Amino acid sequence: MPDVGEGLTEAEILKWYVQPGDTVTDGQVVCEVETAKAAVELPIPFDGTVHALLFEEGTTVDVGQVIISVRTGADDDAAVQEAVPAAEEAAAAASAPAAARQPVLVGYGVSEASTKRRPRKAAPASAQNGTSAPAVRAGAAAAAPAAQNGTATPAAVPAQAPAEPDARPLAKPPVRKLAKDLGIDLAAVVPTGEGGVVTREDVHAAAAAAIAPQAAPAPAAQAPAPAVAAPVAAQAPAEAGARETRIPVKGVRKVTAQAMVGSAFTAPHVTEFVTFDVTRTMKLVQELKADPDLAGLRVNPLLLIAKAVLVAVRRNPEVNASWDEAAQEIVLKHYVNLGIAAATPRGLIVPNIKDAHAKTLPELSQALSSLVATARDGKTSPADMQNGTLTITNVGVFGVDTGTPILNPGESAILAVGAIKLQPWVHKGKVKPRQVTTLALSFDHRLIDGELGSRFLADIAAVLEHPRRLITWS
């Protein structure tokens, strides 16, 4: 696992793009990992043939641990045979309880404690036959090369422990931990993996059968289903009968939770609201969509709201600042990196448009479209989420009128945009149906006092109420 930067010490393997036996070339992407900040694709720095994948998808791995072995030539078989058992030791440590793991410093490799195998209970057959734990481990380590050479499963089992109903089942450490957490006896699971290895899907299928035995009297693994079907079968009984479901908090969701707690209880929040008529802005949006100069560009209310925020920042530059706790100073920013909160399957992320203050309307539209598309694909890089100054969160797309948003850590303000709805409104002395919305501005009261925050919010509303101010105030 390479050092992916940003001070991160671990990453979760999301997806493998190669399998043992595949040919790889230098620079080819072999897997996708998720750090606490983003999903990153990892290239392989070798030409050769994949020998083994040492960690399964869904496993969290420390920086510096071996995750894949590749044969780069005919003379490196001995090196591979030495590397695989060592990596399996690391895999066993990765699946141990959190208290037993020691996070590493980036650039210093994995600590010695992270490569120790946790104690295992001897299987009944091993105890009866006098087989020691190292002998069992040696047999498991030999299973992968044997499978590649076409060796049958019984040949990969140690001679001291012949294939019997009570023999120790073959399974990777993460799968053993999953079975332990679900209360599944691996000896009772019918394996479907290559070489007779028990897979995660086998464990999930066994768990589903245990919950609803009357619906599946025969073992589920007798008729192997596609890999995507097993998790669904495991989830359905849980949704029907389980009273609770525990979801591990990791990756983007974990760091977001930590950041929000830190922001909420560090920066003194103040939130102000304004409700106003945006009918003219909505008409301008329709006109811009038909403008040949903006053909092919995405034009929506968020684009003009972002432009209004930038105009308001120019009129109130003191809002664009940050708090330096160590130096006890306010750092005034002469650039605007405008953050856009995006809801993704992996959690809330806030990428930002660098130097948004210097962009024209077409350039801002292109930047917004690229930002949203990249976030939806899960390809937002850590650099895209750094050094933001202000953020916009559009809760109106969910039909919500407004909210009290929490500051993105290190930023001075965040603007929540509510739903734009037709409402009765007094216009030119008469009650008429008008397009109305509510904005909510949360700001750090150490940086922005009430007067400055009120003027900033009022200027945003004034631009959107009379969009000609996009020209007269620029």
Confidence at 192, pLDDT banded by 50, 70, 90: confident
Amino acid 405: pLDDT: 93
Q: Per the structure block, which two tokens stand in for 408?
A: 């993105």
State the Cα–Cα distance between residues 459 and 472, nearest whole angstrom: 13
Mean pLDDT value across residues 51-67: 87
Phi-psi region of 18 (alpha: psi -120 to 50; beta: other; left: phi over 0): beta
Query: Per DSSP, which regions of 36-148 are E strands?
Result: 39-43, 48-53, 60-62, 68-71
pLDDT higher at 123 or 27: 27
Phi-psi region of 355 (alpha: psi -120 to 50; beta: other; left: phi over 0): left
Phi-psi region of 150 (alpha: psi -120 to 50; beta: other; left: phi over 0): left
The full set of domain ranges for the chain reads 10-241, 252-472
- Average model confidence (pLDDT) across the chain: 76
Confidence at 86, pLDDT banded by 50, 70, 90: low
Confidence at 453, pLDDT banded by 50, 70, 90: very high
Does the predicted TM-score (pTM) go above 0.85?
no
**Backbone torsions φ then ψ of 389, nearest 5 degrees:** -115, -40
Percent of the chain with pLDDT over 90: 38
Is the pLDDT score of 79 beyond 80?
no
Amino acid 317: pLDDT: 96
For the packed helices 279-289 and 450-465, what is the interaxial angle rounded to 10 degrees?
50
**Backbone torsions φ then ψ of 426, nearest 5 degrees:** -80, 115
Amino acid 91: pLDDT: 53
Contact 140, 170 (CB under 8 A): yes
Amino acid 307: pLDDT: 97
pLDDT higher at 284 or 75: 284
pLDDT digits (tens, 9 = 90+) for 298-331: 999 999 999 999 999 999 999 999 999 889 899 9
Mean pLDDT value across residues 372-392: 87
Segment among 8-17, 35-44, 451-460 with least mean pLDDT: 35-44
Is the pLDDT score of 359 beyond 60?
yes
Amino acid 285: pLDDT: 96
Residues facing residue 39 across a β-bridge: 34
Confidence at 8, pLDDT banded by 50, 70, 90: low
Confidence at 148, pLDDT banded by 50, 70, 90: very low
State the Cα–Cα distance between residues 107 and 54, nearest whole angstrom: 21
Is the pLDDT score of 137 beyond 60?
no
State the Cα–Cα distance between residues 87 and 110, nearest whole angstrom: 12
Is the pLDDT score of 101 beyond 50?
no
Amino acid 76: pLDDT: 53
Segment among 160-164, 228-232, 390-394, 436-440 with least mean pLDDT: 228-232
Is the pLDDT score of 198 beyond 50?
yes
Is the pLDDT score of 154 beyond 70?
no
Confidence at 90, pLDDT banded by 50, 70, 90: low
Amino acid 171: pLDDT: 79
Confidence at 143, pLDDT banded by 50, 70, 90: very low
Mean pLDDT value across residues 110-118: 41
Length, in residues, of the chain: 474
Residue positions annotated with a catalytic role: 445
Confidence at 84, pLDDT banded by 50, 70, 90: low
Cα 474 vs. chain centroid, distance in angstroms?
A: 38
Amino acid 456: pLDDT: 97
Confidence at 234, pLDDT banded by 50, 70, 90: very low
Confidence at 147, pLDDT banded by 50, 70, 90: very low
Mean pLDDT value across residues 162-168: 50
Is the pLDDT score of 396 beyond 80?
yes
Mean pLDDT value across residues 163-178: 66
Q: Per the structure block, which two tokens stand in for 7?
A: 């001070």
pLDDT higher at 7 or 232: 7
Amino acid 189: pLDDT: 85
pLDDT higher at 172 or 415: 415
Amino acid 243: pLDDT: 80
Phi-psi region of 6 (alpha: psi -120 to 50; beta: other; left: phi over 0): left
Contact 200, 182 (CB under 8 A): no
Residues facing residue 344 across a β-bridge: 347
The 8-class DSSP code of residue 199 comes to: P
Confidence at 344, pLDDT banded by 50, 70, 90: confident
Percent of the chain with pLDDT over 70: 70
Q: How many beta carbons lie within 10 A of that of residue 190, not counting itself?
A: 16
State the Cα–Cα distance between residues 357 and 310, nearest whole angstrom: 6
Amino acid 182: pLDDT: 72
Mean pLDDT value across residues 101-115: 39
Mean pLDDT value across residues 54-62: 86
The 8-class DSSP code of residue 474 comes to: -
Confidence at 383, pLDDT banded by 50, 70, 90: confident
User: 252-472 architecture in CATH?
Assistant: 2-Layer Sandwich (3.30)
